[in-house]
Structure 1
Amino acid sequence: MISVVNLNRALLLSLIYFLLAISDYYTTRAVLESQKGHEANPIMNIVIENYGFNTVLLLQIFSWLLFTVVFIIYYEQIPMEVFFILLLMKALVVANNSINTWVIAGNGN
């Protein structure tokens, strides 16, 4: 059983992941809509080309729900470092997208 403190920690990390997922969606969309960048993830590239951005948003929300459910259910079994690594990876994607968006907007000159 997860304690209240651990549940609060899980929900905080879940919120951080949610914010990163939504940021990933919007920064990716900004880069792609500028037509000056491309999706580096080949799987997501196929999804975008065949199903559009709405599907990508749904996938981001699904990934957040999956992260949250796994985190809460397996909180005691999975080392905290695993969740931090997942958050770090998501944050790096958002940072990359944000830099690309900034450069595309002409601020990188």
Structure 2
Amino acid sequence: MKLIRHSLALVGTAVLFFSTSLAAQAEFVENNYVCEDAYMEVATACGDNAVAVEKKRLDKEQRAWLKTRNEKCDFNYARPMNNSVVYAMVSADVCVANETQKRSRVIYNEYDIK
């Protein structure tokens, strides 16, 4: 009987933790959350979910940005080299550097990096 009561308590705690963890994740996704004010288990789950959601968002943004940057700064030349071609190659590299610097500023501001 004691084992059954202990098992039920354990299952109840697990269900409660899981449901509050899902609730914390749902709140985080909608940006209506404050992880710091939650109980330890919920705050930990909220923080873990915050990192996962931000990482997924940043990965998606980065892939889209890379595609755009590569299209804008593309250099594709398969003919003999001359001064004009070298200049175009350097221009493409400068384009990549400029676009990367712009993206760094966006990330810096968007994610409040200090």
Same fold flag (TM > 0.5): no
Q: Which has the larger radius of gyration?
A: 2
For Structure 1 versus Structure 2, the TM-score category normalised by the shorter chain is: 0.3 to 0.5
| TM-score calculated relative to the size of structure 1 | 0.37
TM-score, scaled relative to structure 2: 0.35
Higher relative contact order at CA 8 Å, sep ≥6: structure 1 or structure 2? 1
